[in-house]
């Protein structure tokens, strides 16, 4: 399956981000990257509906503990959904040290740090997050 780019970047206003996307639409065709829109922080209902129409999964569609393919900024990522915390837990590396971090679904975003889930995934061994890390990452 092809996973296309979704970019988010800070706009001049501190309470919104500008997003351009190249998600796959329901027919498998890429939505043109030139379609840009603004996400207020938190996103408005209309902005969320635009994202859902482009293939972003709604929080109520997600299963606790399941893994999802999506994007953090312009980076494709795999993350595990924690329903009670309404956060995705994902692996990341900083200065060569591998760890976990929790970030919100785009619907709950208050900063530019957000996850846009596109589809459920069976993780590889390298993508698995231990249950301990899953429950304790904040």
Angle at 117 between CA 113 and CA 121, to 5 degrees: 130
Q: Among candidates 8, 18, 29, 134, which has minimal Cα distance to 72? A: 8
What tens digit of pLDDT does each residue of 73-98 get? 888 999 999 999 999 999 998 888 99
Q: What is the pTM of this model?
A: 0.77
What tens digit of pLDDT does each residue of 109-126 get? 999 899 999 999 999 999
């Amino acid at each position: 399956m092809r996973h296309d780019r979704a970019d988010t970047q800070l706009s001049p206003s501190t309470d919104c981000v500008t997003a351009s996307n190249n998600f796959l639409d329901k027919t498998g065709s890429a939505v043109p990257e030139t379609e840009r829109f603004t996400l207020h922080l938190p996103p408005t209902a209309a902005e969320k509906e635009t994202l859902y129409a482009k293939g972003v999964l709604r929080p109520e569609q997600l299963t606790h503990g399941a893994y999802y393919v999506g994007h953090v900024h312009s980076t494709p990522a795999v993350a595990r959904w924690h329903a009670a915390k309404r956060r995705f837990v994902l692996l990341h590396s900083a200065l060569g040290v591998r760890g976990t971090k929790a970030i919100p679904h785009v619907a709950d975003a208050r900063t530019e740090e957000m996850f846009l889930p596109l589809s459920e995934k069976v993780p590889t061994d390298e993508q698995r997050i231990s249950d301990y890390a899953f429950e304790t990452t904040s």
